[in-house]
Structure 1
Amino acid sequence: MEDTFLVQTPEALKAIAHPLRQRILMDLVVAGHARAADLARSVDAPANSVSFHLRTLAKAGMVVEAPELARDGRDRVWRPVAENFRVEPGTAGTATEILRPALAWVERLFTTANDGGPADEGTKRRALVINNVSLTPDEARAFRDELVAFHEKWADRAFSRARQDPDAPRDAYQVLLALGPRDEG
């Protein structure tokens, strides 16, 4: 299994952009391998829908069948090709497929968190940081590398804990990291 799958093709981008496919992929990474019916229970979706989404992920090269784990010829078991999936900057279609839905999610997340009521536990687990930092090109690369490493450390830790205790209550958290030169235009 690869450590990181780089999402670089329009087909892969379209596949990973769907929120249910993201959940399916995350749960499959945690489990290591699973059947559509198992994933359907974990993401609370119909098995035929999950099966369709698994085939879409397979066409994009993100999951593969694991026939050696099947009980019989009709049984389809799937496994992820990597533990991490990363969209490369500059991939054609990123703004439409990934960025717009992600920014809409950020807006919904913080609109509901700031609706004027008292902060609940869910609100206290959210973060939005917008800042300007003056960096040299070398510092910007180092900052990017540290952000990615920090995120990967927490993702690895979360996946490890989910594998150790799959029945513990967990929520799926989305993380959006963006770093780039500010456009003054």
Structure 2
Amino acid sequence: MTQIKSFSARTLDANALKSFAHPLRLRIYELLDEHGPATATGLAALLGQNTGATSYHLRELAKHGMIEVVAGMGRGKEKYWRITPGGFSYGEANPADPEVAGALDYLLDDLVRTRGAELSRWREESATAPEEWVQASVYGRRSLRLTPEETARMRDQVFEVLERYRALSDSGEREGAGHVVVHFDVLPVGTNRS
């Protein structure tokens, strides 16, 4: 089995993959990523769920290291949750366990859906976004002729750059910083042609 090189703080194990492959947990994670720390009550209102269900799914995400309680936020028993800094990777490219493989397929399909939605949203928002953000953004695609080894080397070099900026992002709030999403995909085209 091929192991995916991880440029993240942690790699999700089989149990975490299966737990994360849940529509409500994915949506909670997206909301925390997009809006920052939130309580179970606040998330429940956004999701049209009851607080008990949201609390349960938050605890499941926390059990697998996907999110954590923000120290110093909230009053009394109120907890604010955030995404655990450092990111994560999905691990094995082709897990042998069919249940884990199904969870990975679900998560990858959701990743494709999310990327499409983010691109569409920015396409609409860019017409009225501040000029400095429009100038800083880019839609990019390159078509290259590379060997598998060259492709892996390029992928790793790009991830090394992204890792430096992830560390900067995780270092805390900075004036003028906004939520930025970077999509980076490297995939061969036509490898199954006869």
- Separation in structure 2 between the aligned mates of residue 153 and residue 121 of structure 1, nearest angstrom: 30
What is residue 160 of structure 2 aligned with on the other side? 149
In structure 1, distance between residues paired with 2:83 and 2:122: 34
Partner of residue 87 from structure 1, selected from 85, 90, 93 = 90
Q: Percent identity?
A: 14
CA distance in 1, matches of 2:19, 2:140: 28
Unaligned runs of 5+ in 1: 29-33
Q: More strand per residue: 1 or 2?
A: 1
1:120 corresponds to 2:120? no
How many residue pairs are counted as aligned between the two chains?
Answer: 165
Q: Does 1:4 align with 2:15?
A: no
Distance in 1, Cα, partners of 2:122 & 2:82: 36
- What is the aligned counterpart of 1:21 among 20, 24, 29? 29
C-alpha RMSD over aligned residues: 4.3
**Contiguous gaps of at least 5 residues in structure 2:** 1-7, 96-100
Matching of residues 26-175 of structure 1 within 5 Å:
36=39, 40=42, 45=46, 48=51, 51-64=55-68, 74-76=77-79, 82-88=85-91, 89-90=93-94, 92=101, 93-97=103-107, 99-110=108-119, 120=127, 124=134, 125-137=137-149, 139-160=150-171, 162-165=172-175, 170-171=178-179, 173-175=180-182
Q: Deviations over 1:138-181 (max 9, x none)?
A: x2332121121122222222333x5244xx5734x433322244
Query: What is the CA–CA distance in structure 1 between the aligned matches of 2:118 and 2:69, rounded to whole Å?
Result: 35
TM-score (ref. length: structure 1): 0.59
C-alpha deviation, 1:18, in angstroms: 1.0
CA distance in 1, matches of 2:80, 2:127: 40
Moved over 6 A (4+): 66-71, 112-115
CA distance in 2, matches of 1:64, 1:51: 12
Could you tell me how far apart the structure 1 residues matched to 2:68 and 2:113 are? 31
Maintained 8 Å contact 2:85/2:170: no
* Structure 2: distance between partners of 1:101 and 1:80: 18
Q: Distance in 1 between matches of 2:27 and 2:161?
A: 23
